[in-house]
Chain A
Amino acid sequence: GAGVSQSPSNKVTEKGKDVELRCDPISGHTALYWYRQSLGQGLEFLIYFQGNSAPDKSGLPSDRFSAERTGGSVSTLTIQRTQQEDSAVYLCASSSQLTSGRGEQFFGPGTRLTVL
């Protein structure tokens, strides 16, 4: 498919375990974003990649959260020692260069994380 894909779609884990969430952006999109959305809430920005580098990590809520992007494509968001407050839907989005396109973000279906 041509859209943003995320895996897994659902993840249930026990408190204290580590989890990895994956995002495959639209081919050719250089920018990639991670957001978190708690039930009934807005989007909380986590981190933004331009290529493989992350110029803005300001939204990561704690040092338990980290993200990487390799080959300018796939990104992985890792949460270590998960806590119950980490339960949320994690959304990934990608966009083309703002300077050369409309810059709109295209969102993946999200990963619903539940920490028991």
Chain B
Amino acid sequence: ELKVEQNPLFLSMQEGKNYTIYCNYSTTSDRLYWYRQDPGKSLESLFVLLSNGAVKQEGRLMASLDTKARLSTLHITAAVHDLSATYFCAVSWGKFQFGAGTQVVVTP
């Protein structure tokens, strides 16, 4: 059974500082996805990482994938309040498996 583990599950961020969310998975996959969910809303696709070494950046968010280590990271640069949300990673190997989510709260 594919396992996808995110950590931390909760992250309190100070505005202006940098943070990283980790996503480990247990079996071979070359597709990894990051989603954002705002409270009371559905999931919004952030990044699709399709190959080893892939790096995608959008604004203050940067995602990378190391398929050999079975690890993806979501790096947040100079956090701002608007980034408060829950972030999910997901891995596909024919079907999708989501991580438990990382709840991010950014405070002044």
Contacts and interface: CB of A to CB of B under 8 A. Distances in A.
Interface stretch (A13-21, A70-78, A79-87, A96-104): A96-104
Given A42-B88, A42-B98, A48-B95, A103 B31 contact: yes
A104 B48 contact: yes
A56 B92 CA distance: 14
A33 B48 CA distance: 18
**Which DSSP category, helix, strand, loop or mixed, fits chain B's interface?**
strand
A12 interface: no
Contact of A109 (B31, B33, B42, B90): B42
B96 A45 contact: yes
Nearest to A106: B45
B88 A105 contact: no
A43 interface: yes
Contact of A107 (B42, B48, B97, B100): B42
Contacts of B88: 42-43
A104 B33 contact: yes
A48 B35 CA distance: 19
A91 B43 contact: yes
Contacts of A93: 43
Interface residues of A, number: 19
Interface string A43-58: 1010010000000100
B106 to A, nearest CB: 18
B85 to A, nearest CB: 13
A42 B48 contact: no
B50 interface: yes
A40 to B, nearest CB: 8
Nearest to A44: B98
Interface of B: 31, 33, 35, 41-45, 48, 50, 88, 90, 92, 94-101
